[in-house]
């Protein structure tokens, strides 16, 4: 065996888990490739948050049938959130009998054993562990996002928003010990990483399960005390739990970026109640006010969806007015997708597909308009940018300022991983451009 390929479909959590799977695969002395034909092991690290992520995985796995027939020695593994969903492992097995290994999110650490067992015995393995209290930690990580690094602070979710599959595929909340998180971040900073993103499905619940209890703000303070120049980000927060203490912590620690991902989901109080979000539009707007009052020029981004069951035109308009009012620095916009096993799945009043489509187009148009206006505010400013990558398509380096805004600029030297000051010279559309000063 020489090569492996990994396909990733989901969120940052899923992306980071792929880095762990790569770490495990490289213990087998395999090298990464993008070529199905030469890969000896192909791993699909799936996502099931929306139907299209699931459909893409099914399509990609199905496309391997011919190659696997020609070369039965090739090992095909399917992991992640999709097989962890009730009934899906059996469904995958029935549709694609050529799959060699099926594993879930709770037993990612078992992947190494499963691959060993498969290599030794030639037999297929399905292992969707029910031990939802296990954490996928203490495995080698092959990082692929330098100068940024993801660090898990907790796993699972207890919130049960009625549209969301995550609590069913990722189990209950469990937190890593603060000292383990601090020591991981320390070693990343020492080895040259410049931006650390702390990950959890709902970071505001961090530490509630630990004894003694620790809260997320205290964890942030501890991490921000680590020596060296680096930026600290975190995601995601739940608006019901964000409080003054968190805002003060952002304000008082230079390393913590003035930026927060603050998913609203809907601008309608009636829909928010149906979603079990446990805040109203007014509560949410009050917290936006508090964040902006406490942290000067804080960047606020969001997730928002259209077409939740029973969403009326009036509810939808409430989302539009919210976007106009808040003027987010970025919004991830989604069409509600039915997920079996969730409460919303069996609600009445599912919105017709064409209505959903019309609504998403309007929503995106409004946010695009906001993006353009906010980009203009950057014109003439000089900001500190951490250089992420060279984009071969457009020929520019790309980096982000503390607020998370993507900025493009030229350089004759390779400056990936450096902090540079960039003066913004062009901000006509959504992308902004500048010159190093």
Where on the chain is the footprint of ligand 5AD (CB under 6 A)? 49-50, 163-164, 263, 265, 303, 305, 334, 336-337, 339
Nearest to 342 by CA among 201, 172, 168, 202: 168
Nearest distance, CB of residue 85 and ligand SF4, angstroms? 9
CB atoms under 10 Å from CB of 120, counted, come to 8
Nearest distance, CB of residue 337 and ligand 5AD, angstroms? 4
3-state SS assignment for residue 408: strand
Q: Judged by CB, which is closer to ligand SF4: 256, or 335?
A: 335
Nearest distance, CB of residue 343 and ligand 5AD, angstroms? 11
With CB atoms as reference, the residue minimizing the distance to ligand 5AD is 303
Q: What DSSP line would sit under 65-102, residue for residue?
A: HHHHHH-TTSEEEEEEHHHHSTTHHHHHHHH-TT--EE
Is 13 an interacting residue with respect to ligand SF4 (CB under 6 A)? Answer: yes
Name the binder of 274 from ligand 5AD, ligand SF4, none, CB < 5-8 A by kind.
none
Q: Judged by CB, which is closer to ligand 5AD: 9, or 193?
A: 9
Is 170 an interacting residue with respect to ligand SF4 (CB under 6 A)? Answer: yes
Is 14 an interacting residue with respect to ligand SF4 (CB under 6 A)? Answer: yes
DSSP code, position 134: -
3-state SS assignment for residue 233: strand
* Helical pair 313-326 and 353-376, crossing angle rounded to 10 deg: 10
Q: Judged by CB, which is closer to ligand SF4: 206, or 396?
A: 206
Q: Judged by CB, which is closer to ligand 5AD: 89, or 165?
A: 165
Nearest distance, CB of residue 197 and ligand SF4, angstroms? 14
Q: Judged by CB, which is closer to ligand 5AD: 50, or 88?
A: 50
| Residue from 5, 6, 7, 11 in contact with ligand SF4 (CB under 6 A) | 11
Binding region for ligand SF4 (CB under 6 A) out of 126-134, 163-171, 242-250, 318-326: 163-171
CA 249 to chain centre: 23
- Residues 266/308, Cβ–Cβ less than 8 Å: yes
Q: Judged by CB, which is closer to ligand SF4: 162, or 249?
A: 162
Residue with tokens 């049960």: 160
Binding region for ligand SF4 (CB under 6 A) out of 7-15, 226-234, 319-327, 408-416: 7-15
Q: ω before 332 within 30° of 0 (cis)? A: no
Nearest distance, CB of residue 284 and ligand SF4, angstroms? 22
Name the binder of 333 from ligand 5AD, ligand SF4, none, CB < 5-8 A by kind.
none
Q: How far apart are CA 76 and CA 102, in angstroms?
A: 9
Is 77 an interacting residue with respect to ligand SF4 (CB under 6 A)? Answer: no
Measuring CA to CA, how many Å separate 326 from each of 131, 207, 243, 361? 41, 30, 18, 19
Radius of gyration of the chain from its Cα atoms, rounded to whole angstroms: 22
Q: Would the CA dihedral through 102, 105, 106, 110 be positive or negative?
A: positive
Nearest distance, CB of residue 230 and ligand 5AD, angstroms? 26
Phi, psi of 46 (to 5 degrees): -85, 165
Binding region for ligand SF4 (CB under 6 A) out of 26-34, 42-50, 286-294, 391-399: 42-50
3-state SS assignment for residue 221: helix
Q: Judged by CB, which is closer to ligand 5AD: 175, or 301?
A: 301
Nearest to 276 by CA among 132, 158, 155: 158
Q: Judged by CB, which is closer to ligand SF4: 47, or 223?
A: 47
| Residue from 81, 89, 219, 335 in contact with ligand SF4 (CB under 6 A) | 81
Is 108 an interacting residue with respect to ligand SF4 (CB under 6 A)? Answer: no
Q: Judged by CB, which is closer to ligand SF4: 77, or 169?
A: 169
Q: How far apart are CA 12 and CA 209, in angstroms?
A: 23
Q: Would the CA dihedral through 246, 248, 253, 257 be positive or negative?
A: positive
126, two tokens:
């399905």
Is 47 an interacting residue with respect to ligand SF4 (CB under 6 A)? Answer: yes
- Residues 287/239, Cβ–Cβ less than 8 Å: yes
Residues near ligand SF4 (CB under 6 A) are 10-11, 13-14, 47-49, 81, 165-166, 169-170
């Amino acid at each position: 065996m020489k090569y492996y390929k990994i396909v990733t479909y989901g969120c940052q959590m899923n992306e980071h888990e792929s880095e762990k799977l790569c770490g495990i695969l490289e213990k087998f002395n395999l090298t990464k490739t993008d070529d199905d034909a030469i890969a000896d092991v192909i791993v699909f690290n799936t996502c099931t948050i929306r139907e299209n992520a699931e459909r893409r995985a099914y399509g990609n796995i199905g496309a391997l049938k011919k190659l696997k027939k020609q070369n039965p020695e090739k090992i095909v593994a399917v992991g992640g959130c999709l097989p962890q969903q009730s009934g899906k492992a059996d469904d995958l097995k029935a549709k694609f009998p050529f799959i060699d290994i099926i594993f879930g999110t709770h037993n990612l650490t078992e992947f190494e054993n499963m691959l060993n067992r498969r290599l030794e015995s030639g037999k297929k393995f399905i292992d969707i562990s029910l031990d939802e209290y296990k954490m996928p930690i203490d495995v080698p990580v092959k990082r692929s996002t330098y100068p940024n690094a993801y660090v898990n602070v907790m796993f699972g979710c207890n919130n049960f928003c009625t549209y969301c599959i995550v609590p069913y595929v990722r189990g209950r909340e469990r937190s890593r010990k603060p000292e383990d998180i601090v020591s991981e971040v320390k070693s990343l900073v020492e080895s040259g990483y410049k931006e650390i993103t702390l990950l959890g499905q709902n970071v505001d619940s961090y530490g509630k399960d630990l004894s003694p209890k620790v809260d997320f703000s205290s964890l942030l303070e501890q991490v921000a005390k680590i020596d060296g120049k680096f930026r600290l980000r975190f995601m995601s927060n739940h608006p019901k739990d964000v409080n003054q203490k968190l805002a003060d912590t952002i304000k008082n620690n230079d390393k913590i970026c003035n930026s927060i991902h603050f998913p609203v989901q809907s601008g309608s109080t009636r829909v928010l109640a149906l979603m079990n979000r446990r805040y109203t539009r007014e509560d949410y707007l009050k917290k936006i006010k508090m964040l902006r009052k406490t942290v000067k020029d804080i960047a606020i981004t969001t997730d928002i969806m259209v077409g939740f069951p029973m969403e009326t035109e009036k509810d939808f308009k409430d989302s539009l007015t919210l976007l106009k009012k808040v003027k987010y620095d970025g919004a991830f916009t989604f069409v509600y997708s039915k997920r079996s096993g969730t409460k919303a799945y069996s609600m009445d009043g599912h919105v017709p597909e064409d209505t959903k489509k019309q609504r998403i187009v309007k929503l995106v148009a409004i946010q695009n308009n906001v993006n353009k206006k906010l980009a203009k505010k950057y014109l003439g400013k000089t900001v500190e940018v951490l250089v992420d990558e060279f984009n071969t398509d457009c020929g520019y380096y790309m980096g982000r300022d503390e607020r998370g805004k993507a900025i493009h600029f030229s350089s004759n030297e390779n400056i990936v991983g450096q902090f540079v000051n960039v003066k913004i010279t062009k901000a006509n559309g959504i992308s902004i451009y500048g010159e190093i000063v």
